[in-house]
Amino acid sequence: MKRAGLPLVGPLLAALLLAAPLAADPSLERMEALPPDLPDWLAPLLDPGGYKVVRDEGQPIEFWFPPALPMQDPSAELGVEYPTLPPGGLVGLMRTTDDWSTYKKQIVPAGIYTLRYAVQPADGDHTGQTWFRDFLILIPVALDTFDPYGFPEQEPLVEASITIIEGATHPMTMALFQNYDGAESATMFWNDLDQPTLAVPLGDVTLGLVVEGEGEEVPL
């Protein structure tokens, strides 16, 4: 991870700052089993071999994915980095054992959530808020009663997601960021905004899930 340079300080203070331990980069561990008590429809769709992102601060975040992602003919929409993923399609499962902050600074409580692919509406309300229009919607696993093989409309997904936080009006989301260097296997990398991101090759697509970070305005 890129580290900012030290400001001009006295020699003793500079030495103390340099000696202080820096936060460790997140690491990646493999897991061999799905969470218990998943809905009957969900477990058969996921690979039991999951991934645990171990962070220096905060509890680990765990992910499971299908062996391959649902696909569609490439979309022609502008600003979309994953044009072959159908909006509404199930792309994975996420488990947290502690609070987790979304890209919109919303605090998601510990729990198990399905991850469904979505695209920001081209309605002007989201212009300049993120680099890409692609993102994942978090849905409490007990509320994801949508067709596992279908591609539900975005509105009911949003309605299910906002129940995570009482009074919320914006869905709980995870940002996606491409790994332009490619990845032969799952790995952690730092995206162009210096945010820790999990790259996972799934068939012909490599997902890049931003596990920590906040949205920044795109230079217009």
Mean pLDDT per block of 10 residues along the chain (220 residues) reads 35 36 73 95 96 83 94 87 92 93 87 95 54 89 90 91 89 88 88 91 92 60
DSSP secondary structure, 94-147, as one string: EEESS-EE-TTS-EEPSEEEEEEEEE--SSSTTTTT-S-SEEEEEEEGGG--S-
Q: Residue 79 has what pLDDT?
A: 85
Rounded to two decimals, what is the model's pTM?
0.82
The residues that bridge with 117 in the sheet, in sequence order, are 136
The residues that bridge with 124 in the sheet, in sequence order, are none
- In angstroms, rounded to a whole number, what is the distance separating the alpha carbons of residues 133 and 131? 7
CA angle 102, 106, 111 (to 5 degrees): 70
**Tens of pLDDT, residues 26-54:** 889 999 999 999 999 999 999 999 999 99
Given the structure tokens 């902050």, which residue do they identify? 101
Boundaries of every domain in the chain: 23-210
